[in-house]
Structures are given as structure tokens and as C-alpha cells.
């Protein structure tokens, strides 16, 4: 199930981030993963949960946080474009449908804010995430960047296009 994050969820989200980043980026940029400070990360997530301009949703299983997604209007795009800033799940929660639920929730929310499109930056070497994004309706739009020394590609999706398994906000 999904639920809104609260100020008390900082440590749980930070723990998921640590494990998910280790699994996703541990081979690509180990220093970045080693450099995550649990207390500071937890504070950052508590602040994000309280930020009215962002949507931070948690995926829970057996009453434990197993994943999260952060979205909101894109800061580096024209008005009317939203951004999926992050979607991360514990490896044990992969392949159970939580990723799709989190993305669909973010797209539905962005559509409600008047954003017709959503962008998501993905590390180019993250083939699992790229396959996932393409499966749920995102397409690479040619944008390229660098994030913490890693090459990234920008994906884009309509927030209002027909998709299967749509969930309500």
C-alpha cells in the first residue's frame, strides 16, 4: 500500500535509500553510497515530507517502509512539466508492483497540478530502471546529463495519456 510520508518517517526512508542506493549504485559509484550520512539523510527526508511543493509517497509492506517516490513540478523545465525526482525500493520489494503504483500515483498527482508531462532522469547504466520506465510509458527524449559523476538520460511521459492499471490520487 501507499501512504503519505510524515516528519517521523525520515529514518525509515533514509534506511531504504541506503540499501537501495547500495544495490543500484554500489558498483558504479561506491564513494557516493559510502558518503550517505544516515542522520543528515533522515533530516532531509523529514524536510521533504513537510514541503508542500513536493509529493513524497511511501510503499509499505507488512507495516514496514519498503520504498518511496518523490515528485513535483520540475524546477529546470518550463511550467506545466513535472518531475519524478526519485523512485527507490528495497531489492526484496522489486517486481511486486510497488514501482508501478508509485509512478502512477506521482503522474496522477502531477496531472492534478496541471502538469501534462513528467520527466525523470535515470543513470544511463541503470538498465533495470530504464526497462521499467519504458514499460510504464516513459520514453527517452534525448536529454543527457551528469549526476554525481554518472551519465544520465532524461525520460518523459504524458501524465494524462492512456495507461493500464491507473490508480486514483
By CB under 6 A, tell whether 139 contacts ligand COA. Answer: no
**Radius of gyration of the chain measured on its C-alpha atoms:** 15
**Segment interacting with ligand COA (CB under 6 A) among 9-17, 40-48, 50-58, 123-131:** 123-131
Place of cell 559509484: 29
* Neighbour order of strands in the sheet with 64-73: 2-4, 55-61, 64-73, 81-89, 117-123, 150-158, 139-147
3-state SS string for 151-163: EEEEEEEECCCCC
100 binds ligand COA (CB under 6 A): yes
Q: How far is the CB of 158 from ligand COA (least distance, A)?
A: 17
Q: Which residues pair with 82 in a beta bridge?
A: 73, 118
Candidates 26-34, 48-56, 90-98, 110-118; binding stretch for ligand COA (CB under 6 A): 90-98
For the CB of residue 92, give the shortest distance to ligand COA in the complex, in Å.
10
82 or 99, CB closer to ligand COA?
99
Q: Which position among 96, 125, 150, 167 is part of the footprint of ligand COA (CB under 6 A)?
A: 96
Q: How far is the CB of 8 from ligand COA (least distance, A)?
A: 23
Q: With binding defined as CB under 6 A, does residue 106 bind ligand COA?
A: no
**Cell of residue 85, nine digits:** 525526482
Interface with ligand COA (CB under 6 A), residue from 47, 135, 144, 148: 135
Which residue from 130, 89, 81, 82 is spatially nearest to 106, judged by alpha carbons? 82
Q: Please report, for residues 26, 45, 77, 141, the alpha-carbon distance to residue 51 in angstroms, rounded to integers and kept in the order given.
A: 29, 10, 19, 29
CA distance 64 to 75: 31
Binding mask 25-64 for ligand COA (x = CB under 6 A): ----------------------------------------
At its nearest, how many Å lie between ligand COA and the CB of residue 100? 4
Amino acid at each position: 500500500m501507499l501512504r503519505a510520508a510524515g516528519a517521523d518517517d525520515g529514518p525509515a526512508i533514509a534506511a531504504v535509500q541506503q540499501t537501495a542506493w547500495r544495490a543500484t549504485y554500489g558498483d558504479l559509484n561506491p564513494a557516493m553510497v559510502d558518503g550517505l550520512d544516515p542522520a543528515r539523510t533522515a533530516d532531509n527526508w523529514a524536510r521533504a515530507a513537510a514541503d508542500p511543493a513536493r509529493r513524497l509517497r511511501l510503499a509499505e509492506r507488512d507495516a514496514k517502509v519498503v520504498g518511496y517516490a518523490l515528485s513535483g513540478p520540475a524546477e529546470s523545465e518550463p511550467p506545466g512539466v513535472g518531475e519524478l525526482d526519485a523512485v527507490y525500493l528495497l531489492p526484496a520489494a522489486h517486481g511486486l508492483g510497488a514501482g508501478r503504483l508509485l509512478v502512477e500515483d506521482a503522474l496522477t498527482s502531477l496531472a492534478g497540478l496541471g502538469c501534462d508531462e513528467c520527466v525523470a532522469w535515470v543513470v544511463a547504466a541503470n538498465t533495470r530502471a530504464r526497462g521499467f520506465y519504458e514499460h510504464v510509458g516513459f520514453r527517452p527524449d534525448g536529454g543527457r546529463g551528469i549526476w554525481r559523476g554518472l551519465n544520465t538520460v532524461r525520460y518523459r511521459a504524458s501524465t494524462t495519456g492512456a495507461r493500464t492499471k491507473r490508480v486514483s490520487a
